[in-house]
Structure 1
């Protein structure tokens, strides 16, 4: 194999590699990124929010009057895990949430508890359902000493649940509230820095208007068969309301909330959240009489740091496959294509030179420096005749 053939083979290989890199870059920026930009299947996080509020004292159930304490420390905890069914397209999130008074021990301070399960699309974060999977469920409450396996109550979800979509936009999204059992709008409200990450801010009102006024509270949907916590009958003295002390009064429980989400726009991860919830008993929806709990809690620093780190990891993963590698492959592919074309051209001229050796001469210009002729190299040297002694003049000594 002569040198020209070897150069031609090398040129073809370089051209092929360059073309392959360009195709890979195209696939990475379209098909592959869509496969990568999905909610991970290994989510396992504990999210904690701290704050204060007005809360019912459970110990007062055995007293003469319900006791409502003000400015008590509260903590909202959410345990997020992945359950079945989860696959390449959907993921099922199970979120156990509890609100408790931290100034009381163990279950004495428990105010709210719920285990919510929802199946969402891994790209859009929207709830999905099918004939075999209603798209969501809540766990039926159990007594502390109940040893029976937990049972679920079907609760079809709609809208977003616990995440926002990848490449979140500056618009209004519908976000499901498992307590109200309904989706409510979360409106875009600007950008803010959260631990060095630029996050989109969304606000959601449940039962409140944009000014924070109570306008349409939700009647609490009990998870008990007898609606024990949704409607309570007690003496007027127990409620602490005017009237005959022994008068029996029945009040319904109502719920309203206002939430603020700070969302990483690339991964859709909620990196920070503020919750204001209001549960109260009343005979008329818009006339609260007895507060069960009125609280405002915000993600603590540890939770914010862990969520920002998780969002950054997902950002890096998406950027690697969706931007960095495609750009690198495109640049490398173009360089290889140009280099392969030049090498192929050189191999053809080299092969022509081997076939026609005359191409090596200066007139063909193959090895000539850009066609520049060097006169000194082309000029013929003029030979001067050597004079013999007999040709010297007579008067010149020899």
Structure 2
């Protein structure tokens, strides 16, 4: 049995050590990258005051927002991922949330095509052959990098068409998950309220980021838009729905479990288990050799009288 078990343990120990080394050196570079196949639909709700052009007054209504973000796998590469994101903000009439083109209840709608680095999550305008009408982006867009730090990041603001600062503000528990909360503030930035109608834009956002994966688990926004003369056109407050937060947390828990399995537990099991298996195999092989040598040195007894 020792002749069989010893070599088996030595082989197992070597295998586990190699697996642990792969988990330590190779796995992070593979799993800490944005997947090439992503399809997410995010739901938000809140309140908005929209100007009634017939009276000039803001009319308050409950609202919902939908953001459908998907990767373009054919256009993406090993280093850069292409995205197509469509979104809308609608007045909530109590029906099933959906984006309805041409509806009077639509407040805003947009389609965004961009690309980002699969590791840093920063916008990449050069690596892929994006459509000619794709707007160049800057900074982070739809996620933060893996192993997010407590610092300031450039963050894309589609309304102003430039990157603004996402400043680390605090660490907050979100239903049992630790998140880093980043704040984004834009104050009276010049924009076009409509084609040929200049105005200003102010917003305050809070972005809840799970730092290990860089996933955004919640986001709140308080936004106002004004005409040049100071007339308010839009006063909007939005946040992830409760169901959306729960779904985001569930999805993120699975992602973190996979990351931990490959980058934390695989090295631990590999190195510890491999070392124990090698030691046990070596001791069994050594014990077997001693036992064999002992039998070789035994002499036959000599009969008395000879």
Shift of 1:10: 4.5
Distance 1:26 1:126 in 2: 29
Shift of 1:169: 1.2
Structure-2 change in CA distance of 1:108 and 1:253 (3 Å): same
Structure richer in strand, relative to its length: 2
Shift of 1:271: 0.4
Check whether the contact 2:16–2:269 (CA below 8 A) recurs between aligned residues. no
Which residue pairs with 1:33 in the alignment?
A: 28
Distance 2:199 2:63 in 1: 20
Shift of 1:311: 1.0
Matches within 5 A, 1:46-125: 46-57=41-52, 60=53, 63=54, 65-69=55-59, 71-83=60-72, 84-103=74-93, 107-125=103-121
Distance 1:306 1:16 in 2: 43
Which residue pairs with 1:326 in the alignment?
A: 267
Shift of 1:167: 1.2
Distance 1:131 1:302 in 2: 36
Shift of 1:132: 4.8
Matches within 5 A, 1:209-358: 217-220=188-191, 229-232=194-197, 252-283=198-229, 288=230, 290-357=231-298
Shift of 1:192: 1.2
TM-score (normalizing by structure 2): 0.88
Which residue pairs with 2:149 in the alignment?
A: 169
Distance 1:114 1:279 in 2: 17
Distance 1:334 1:159 in 2: 45
Shift of 1:267: 1.0
**CA RMSD of the aligned region, Å?**
2.4
Structure 1 stretches of at least 4 aligned residues deviating more than 6 Å after TM superposition: none
**Structure 1 residue 21 corresponds to structure 2 residue 16:** yes
Gap runs ≥5 in structure 1 = 138-151, 208-216, 223-228, 233-251, 362-398
Q: Deviations over 1:182-228 (max 9, x none)?
A: 11111111111212211111101122xxxxxxxxx222258xxxxxx
Shift of 1:295: 0.9
Structure-2 change in CA distance of 1:221 and 1:345 (3 Å): farther
Q: Secondary structure at the match of 2:169?
A: strand
Q: Secondary structure at the match of 2:133?
A: strand
Distance 1:153 1:281 in 2: 28
Distance 1:302 1:324 in 2: 31
Q: Secondary structure at the match of 2:283?
A: helix
Distance 1:281 1:118 in 2: 30
Shift of 1:88: 3.0
Shift of 1:16: 3.0
Gap runs ≥5 in structure 2 = 302-306
Check whether the contact 1:279–1:292 (CA below 8 A) recurs between aligned residues. yes
Residue number among 135, 153, 159 corresponding to 1:155 in the alignment: 135
Check whether the contact 1:220–1:230 (CA below 8 A) recurs between aligned residues. no
Q: Deviations over 1:136-158 (max 9, x none)?
A: x7xxxxxxxxxxxxxx6231112
Q: Number of residue pairs matched?
A: 294
Which is greater in Rg? 1
Distance 1:161 1:85 in 2: 18
TM-score (normalizing by structure 1): 0.68
Structure-2 change in CA distance of 1:154 and 1:117 (3 Å): closer
Distance 1:12 1:329 in 2: 18
Shift of 1:349: 0.8
